[in-house]
Amino acid sequence: MSGKSLLLKVILLGDGGVGKSSLMNRYVTNKFDSQAFHTIGVEFLNRDLEVDGRFVTLQIWDTAGQERFKSLRTPFYRGADCCLLTFSVDDRQSFENLANWQKEFIYYADVKDPEHFPFVVLGNKVDKEDRQVTTEEAQAWCMENGDYPYLETSAKDDTNVTVAFEEAVRQVLAVEEQLEHCMLGHTIDLNSGSKAGSSCC
Ligand SMILES: Nc1nc2c(ncn2[C@@H]2O[C@H](COP(=O)(O)OP(=O)(O)OP(=O)(O)O)[C@@H](O)[C@H]2O)c(=O)[nH]1
């Protein structure tokens, strides 16, 4: 890939076993392991891509979702440009824990302006038939908690995996554009509730 590349750090958070490592591995290596082991701490992989004419090196950080690894994962939240909040559609508890993951990220990443931070929500394992969370309720959660994009993925079938990571990049670029626009002589109205892609001024 030619041209100057923008380095973006995205981080996958969610309960143990929802498929974070599998999503990262499917996207970067196009492989799926049906016997994947739990992550201990964090791991990361890079992939270059082009989104809307911008060259990006995506640094994807995969974290350990199990509670006992909390102190190993949280130091890596700082500097993330986007957070992919992940649950599994066949695991209701993982959906109900999304708000805790969102809070944990905001706290340890020390996000100064949570309202404008780009989160993307992923409902993984849509290939499974024993769903416990409907598309509509996941969309409603996203709407209520920050109007976040919601994508249903399957690392197993490679459904929406590329789309999900590209959406993360689009969200970051939209926030950056908005900030640049605001810094060009406009005032940011933090009370306007504006989101990525809409006017902040
Ligand atoms: N059917 C199905 N199984 C999946 C999918 N994604 C992951 N799995 C399986 O779910 C299990 C857990 O996947 P991981 O990717 O290790 O989950 P994780 O979120 O990284 O787990 P932690 O490392 O503990 O946080 C593995 O057995 C995977 O093969 C999917 O899209 N569909």
Q: What is the mean pLDDT of the chain?
A: 91
Q: Determine if ligand 1 sits within 6 Å of the CB of residue 64.
A: yes
Question: Bigger pLDDT: 176 or 97?
Answer: 97
Percent of the chain with pLDDT over 90: 81
- Residue 183 tokens read as 């810094």
Binned at pLDDT 50, 70 and 90, residue 194 comes out as very low
Instruction: Measure the CA–CA gap between 74 and 59, rounded to whole angstroms.
Output: 17
* Beta partners for residue 62, in sequence order: 12, 43
- Give the pLDDT confidence of 40-74 residue by residue, as tens digits: 989 999 999 999 999 999 999 999 999 999 999 99
- Whether the per-residue pLDDT at 196 is higher than 60: the answer is no
Query: Under a CB-based contact definition with an 8 Å cutoff, are residues 164 and 155 in contact?
Result: no
Instruction: Measure the CA–CA gap between 90 and 28, rounded to whole angstroms.
Output: 24
- Give the pLDDT confidence of 159-187 residue by residue, as tens digits: 999 999 999 999 999 988 887 777 766 55
What ipTM was reported for this prediction?
A: 0.99
Query: Under a CB-based contact definition with an 8 Å cutoff, are residues 1 and 107 in contact?
Result: no
| DSSP 8-state secondary structure symbol assigned to residue 169 | H
| DSSP 8-state secondary structure symbol assigned to residue 154 | B
Q: Determine if ligand 1 sits within 6 Å of the CB of residue 18.
A: yes
Q: Determine if ligand 1 sits within 6 Å of the CB of residue 194.
A: no
Q: How far is the CA of 194 from the centre of ligand 1 (A)?
A: 34
Query: Under a CB-based contact definition with an 8 Å cutoff, are residues 78 and 108 in contact?
Result: yes
Whole-number pLDDT of residue 4: 81
- Give the pLDDT confidence of 131-164 residue by residue, as tens digits: 999 999 999 999 999 999 999 999 999 999 999 9
Ligand 1 atom at minimum distance from 33 CA: 29
Percent of the chain with pLDDT over 70: 90
Whole-number pLDDT of residue 104: 98
Q: Determine if ligand 1 sits within 6 Å of the CB of residue 39.
A: yes
Residue nearest to atom 26 of ligand 1 (CA): 36
Q: pTM for this one?
A: 0.91
Q: How far is the CA of 188 from the centre of ligand 1 (A)?
A: 41
Q: Determine if ligand 1 sits within 6 Å of the CB of residue 5.
A: no
- Whether the per-residue pLDDT at 200 is higher than 50: the answer is no
Whole-number pLDDT of residue 3: 60
Q: How far is the CA of 192 from the centre of ligand 1 (A)?
A: 39
